[in-house]
Amino acid sequence: MAQTAASNKLDWQSDAQDPERSEAIKAALREVIDPEIGLNIIELGLVRDLAFNEDKSTWIKMILTTPFCPYGPAMLEQTRNKVMSVTETPAKIEMGMEIWDPSMMEEGAGADWGLF
């Protein structure tokens, strides 16, 4: 996974593996909303990486906006279910160790907060 500093766009491993399927997953994940913030997990930059494994499963690396986010378990389950609905294969989420900050948001997503 690489992040382009100028655009805050994450380059997932899946983008190189299967761009079409990767975009379909990204679109589906825009439906997973952080209820406290009101933005989706893609806008927030919470999905840090995604890859398609040789065993046909999907690996997702994700972080939360706060370590003890009360909605974390529900958002993780929604994320896993959305990915499985697109791929029709098992999905596994690995929690990343990065600390979330607003600079991880998609360009323009923080405008309503007065951040960008």
99 pLDDT higher than 70: yes
How crowded is residue 71: how many other Cβ atoms within 10 Å of its Cβ? Answer: 16
- Smallest CA-to-CA distance from 65 within 88, 34, 111, 87 is with 34
Report yes or no on 106 lying in a domain. Answer: no
At 3-12, the pLDDT tens digits run 544 446 789 9
* DSSP-assigned letters across all residues of 45-59: T-EEEEEE-TTS-EE
Domain CATH code at residue 19: 3.30.300.130
Range of the domain at 81: 2-99
Say how many domains are in the chain: 1
Residue 16 forms part of a structural domain? yes
Torsion of CA 65, 69, 76, 102, to 10 degrees: -10
Assigned domain for 104 exists: no
pLDDT in tens, 19-75: 999 999 999 999 999 999 999 999 999 999 999 999 999 999 999 999 889 999 999
Asked, for residue 63, whether it belongs to a domain, the answer is yes
CA distance 44 to 99: 12
**Residue-level pLDDT at 111:** 57
